[in-house]
Structure 1
Amino acid sequence: MRVLLTGWASFLHGEATAGDALSLRAVGAALTAAGIDHDVVWSPGFRPGTRHLPDAPPSEYTHVVFACGPLHGPQVRSLHERYASCRRIAIGVSVPDPDDPAATGFHRIFPRDDGVTPDLSLAAPVSKTPVLGVVLAPHQPEYGGAGRHDDVHDALTGWVAGLDCARVPLDTRLAHEDWQRCATPDQFVSLVSTMDVVVTTRLHGLVLGLKAGVPVVAVDPVAGGGKVTAQAKALGWPVVAAEEAGDTALLDARLKGCLTTAVTPPPAPSLAGLVDELAASR
């Protein structure tokens, strides 16, 4: 017996959701525990360099297991055609139309929508990873030719994409009618406080991260240093220069330091000078 483990995350034009991947993980772990030989196939768009459907000839398998998602559409039907010689089983799936050939092609279906069966993803082990809030500065024309925003952001986001972490895009801009943005600064600082680390090229990404007690990987997108560098100096916090943004070893070191550093919110600035200035004019 040899099983080919598939799902929507196996199709070239499918999609890989967290639930899909965890369901495949759960089934794979169960097969391994039972001593059942199996391979998992992934979409080349999601996991290049792994086994894909074209790499899994039907002659090498006795069974095909399809885990998670709805049984419908030509991609699922194509499994029945390609693996017609295999016994085909679906588990943890939705069956919107029991008469759809995508569903009737399976020899056995273990559905999840019967009102009593928990979703497969609940059976999969997960590992906690750091959560990084990413706050990128917009183009800042006031810096003229010194602005290196595009190059810095390409390097920084490329680095972040390669980390084993959860990435959360954050925007300091507020909006009352856009549900994807915070409506008040209190909401934004509350959101930032849930992050493990903030990665930013924006002054207020640095300042509000520290205000929320969250360590910050601060990168100045301006060659020679701009307001991020000046504010980092005022707060006694390290900053990566624009010229160093492509140094992944440096970024790794800063992130490692952030993950092991407890942050004390910086002191508030004094407004006494402004008050005295205005008071003297009364």
Structure 2
Amino acid sequence: MYGRERSGPRRVLLTGWFSFRDGEATAGDVLALRRVEEVLRGAGMAYDVVWSPGFRPGDLHFDDVRPGDYSHLVFVCGPLHGPQVEELHRRFAHCVRIAVGTSVIDPHGEAARGFHRVLARDGPGSEPSEDLAARAPAVPARPVVGVILTDGQHEYGPRRRHEQVSERVTRWLAGKDCARLELETRLDTRDWHLSATPAQVESVLARLDLVVTDRLHGLVLGLRVGTPVLAVDPVAGGAKVTAQARACGWPALVGAEQVDARRLDRWWDWCLTSGRVAARQMRDAFREGRVPDGADRLVQVLATRAGTG
């Protein structure tokens, strides 16, 4: 049927699992879509994309679509199965329906049989082909940001602002165009989610562009490997995070009472520019031991009689 469309499609509706209200959008699915969009634009073909309202609330959703506006429906990526895919065949019965870059679970199932053409990436009895995401247009790199926050530290009592700080910081981070990694400095030799040694923690931190943290050791360990740190003190009036930033001479610090987008943006920009050099300088200062620390003073104390001199 598709082969007899000599004049080409009037308008194509691009769909996928990223289109359904209770579906999901994966990075691979969206890159596969970008590959299809690239090809259609190159061929001069008009198209629209349907998005899940939960993922892209401001874009075109199935509730907004008038099926009669389209001559073709294309389903991009993912498995061909289930009632949601089957419903597409009923709602867009007048369209030429094509699946591309998909996995065929059951070639005889209604979801797969409903398409006029299936250009599968894999399925029973067929030779697999490259996933569409492999040749999607290149995307620019984004900052990789480690996020180390705590809801503990109840020893600070009424001065605790941990929940408020975490809520404001994570809401702000959700709007930043970056790759976020939720990290933990706590070690555990049995839980694979956590690092078992300090070296493992440092290996992750050293590969980041930035650390955002309200923890003292999030600050110190980030600077120790030369990664800039945006530190937030979650205790009203300042406590150990503020004290440590002062001891290290690290300026990118926001107090619990000052957490707002303007201040966070200011230090974000600094950390990803001048802060890169400053963090490496801090790392070198730590390694060279330019300033005596508590361990140095401990030796002096232990060397005195009974440690009381």
TM-score by length of 2: 0.88
Aligned to 1:92, the other structure's residue is in SS state strand
Report 1:143-162 matches (<5 A).
143-162=156-175
Report 1:37-48 matches (<5 A).
37-48=46-57
Q: Which residue of 2 aligns with 1:242?
A: 256
**Alpha-carbon separation, structure 1, partners of 2:73 and 2:230:** 46
User: Of the candidates 86, 99, 107, which is equivalent to residue 116 of structure 2?
Assistant: 107
**Alpha-carbon separation, structure 2, partners of 1:272 and 1:55:** 69
User: Of the candidates 80, 83, 86, which is equivalent to residue 92 of structure 2?
Assistant: 83
Q: Which residue of 2 aligns with 1:204?
A: 217
Q: Tell me, yes or no, if the aligned pair for 2:151 and 2:163 is still in contact at 8 Å.
A: no
Aligned to 1:112, the other structure's residue is in SS state strand
Q: Which residue of 1 aligns with 2:181?
A: 168
User: Of the candidates 252, 267, 274, which is equivalent to residue 298 of structure 2?
Assistant: 274
Q: Which has the larger radius of gyration?
A: 2
Q: Which residue of 2 aligns with 1:127?
A: 140
Q: Which residue of 2 aligns with 1:118?
A: 130
**Alpha-carbon separation, structure 2, partners of 1:280 and 1:99:** 85
Where does the alignment leave 5 or more consecutive residues of structure 1 unmatched? none
Change (3 A) 1:79 1:281: farther
User: Of the candidates 247, 252, 265, which is equivalent to residue 252 of structure 1?
Assistant: 265
TM superposition shift of 1:194: 0.9
TM superposition shift of 1:141: 1.1
**Alpha-carbon separation, structure 2, partners of 1:61 and 1:183:** 56
Q: Structure 1 runs of 4+ off > 3 angstroms? A: 279-282
Q: Which amino acid aligns with 2:297?
A: G
Where does the alignment leave 5 or more consecutive residues of structure 2 unmatched? 1-9
**Alpha-carbon separation, structure 2, partners of 1:158 and 1:30:** 36
Q: Which residue of 1 aligns with 2:66?
A: 57
TM superposition shift of 1:6: 0.5
TM superposition shift of 1:115: 4.5
Report 1:16-55 matches (<5 A).
16-55=25-64
CA deviations over 1:154-209 (Å, ceiling 9, x no partner): 10000000011111000001111111110101100111111100000010111100
TM-score by length of 1: 0.97
User: Of the candidates 214, 228, 231, which is equivalent to residue 215 of structure 1?
Assistant: 228
